[in-house]
Amino acid sequence: MPSTGERDSGPPATAAVRRAASRALPVLVALVDGLVVNGLTAGHGMWLALVAAGALLLRRRAPEAAVLAGLPGLYLGHIAFAPLIALYCVAVRRGPVLAGATCAAAVAVAWFLPHPATGVSSLALDRETALLALDCCGVAAGVVVLGRSVRSRQERLRAATARRAWENQVLTERVLATERNRLAREMHDVVAHKVSLISLQAGALQVGGPGDADVRATARTIHELSAQTLTELHHLVGVLRTTGDPGAQGAPRAGLAGLTDLVRDSGLPVDLDVSIPPAPLPEPVERAAYRTVQEALTNIRKHAPGSRATVRVHCAAGLHVEVHNTAPERVAARPPLPGGGHGLVGLRERAHLLGGDFHAAPATDGGFTVRAVFPVGWTAIRQSADTSVG
């Protein structure tokens, strides 16, 4: 029996050949059946066989019509395969069971009744008649059962495919949400650090720069534009957390090797103590440690001007990062930089996604301390990532 769920695979030419073969094979089988039964003699038997075989070309769109076209030849005893193939297609392609049962009954009756119809009265209620009726009904019912089983299998496959597609969509949405949050953190860490530094330097130029009015006006413009940029940045971070572009590229790679330059360009008095093993650490861990120090220094410039910072990074059962600043000087002017509240939240999320820990709180000396611990093994990082996605 033909399969109605052919799938195209391989090169286009091969797929086209397979489709043509699957469509022509049932017709050829019906023609061979007609030739075997009727021989090469042209007559009404041969014409009925040709009509029934040709009607199989409609078995995909109108299988009931193909069954009807094969009933006369089946009744006259000139064909057998064409109506059975059409009956199989009815069972596969029609959802209601009634359609298949009706066509099966028609095939069984046409196969059972003698020709001419007047010979019905000569049928005896004997063993041969009962066996003939059982054969006709059994073959027709068997074809319908086979077709229904194929249809049921196809429906299960479609349901499984739809379920898998839905699961993939859910997983993709989760991954995209995680990626959006990561991009939001990267955007905040990279841009906010640089813009706040520009604003700080511009504010210093505005206060202590030369007496030239143009220089002061330029410094004032830079300071205002920097503050506006930070405000827009915080707004974009909020938008990115919900509707970010999944195809966007992340920030440039940042690692522990860049901490020296980061501290030097921070514009703050910083004591740096970095002690890491010679073996390379996982790139997500180095980037997270770098961003932690970067965000902490940015917050010190914004909220604790005049204070002194200490940065310690060492590896002992994990990568430990600590940034502490002393109490700010009361006489130091704080630059009016907006704060969106995403910095420490992003650092905490980053640490938890890597399976680490994060803590930020005021210190006893009036300053502030940021601590983070990150795992240094790829296995722990992968397990934490799988848990966050699943």
In a domain? residue 52: yes
Domain extent at residue 371: 168-389
Same-domain status, 80 and 226: no
Domain end residue (candidates: 91, 123, 155): 123
According to the model, what pLDDT value does residue 160 have?
93
Same-domain status, 239 and 357: yes
User: Residue 208 to residues 203, 284, 335, 374: CA-CA distances in angstroms?
Assistant: 9, 41, 14, 42
Instruction: Say which residues have a Cβ less than 8 Å from residue 216's Cβ, sequence separation at least 6.
Output: 206, 209
According to the model, what pLDDT value does residue 2 have?
47
According to the model, what pLDDT value does residue 370 have?
94
Same-domain status, 201 and 339: yes
Tally of structural domains, the chain: 2
According to the model, what pLDDT value does residue 46 have?
80
User: What amino acid occupies position 335?
Assistant: P
According to the model, what pLDDT value does residue 324 have?
95
User: Residue 84 to residues 63, 70, 114, 162, 201: CA-CA distances in angstroms?
Assistant: 11, 9, 18, 32, 88
Same-domain status, 245 and 318: yes
Same-domain status, 172 and 119: no
In a domain? residue 236: yes
In a domain? residue 204: yes
Same-domain status, 346 and 207: yes
Domain end residue (candidates: 106, 123, 140): 123
Same-domain status, 309 and 365: yes
In a domain? residue 137: no
Which DSSP string corresponds to 356-372? -EEEEEE-TTSSEEEEE
CB of 73 closer than 8 Å to CB of 52: yes
In a domain? residue 4: no
Distance (Å, whole) CA 302 – CA 282? 31
In a domain? residue 139: no
* CATH code where residue 211 lies: 3.30.565.10
Same-domain status, 368 and 271: yes
Same-domain status, 107 and 178: no
According to the model, what pLDDT value does residue 249 have?
44
Segments of the chain with pLDDT less than 50: 1-8, 244-252, 338, 387-390
Same-domain status, 201 and 119: no
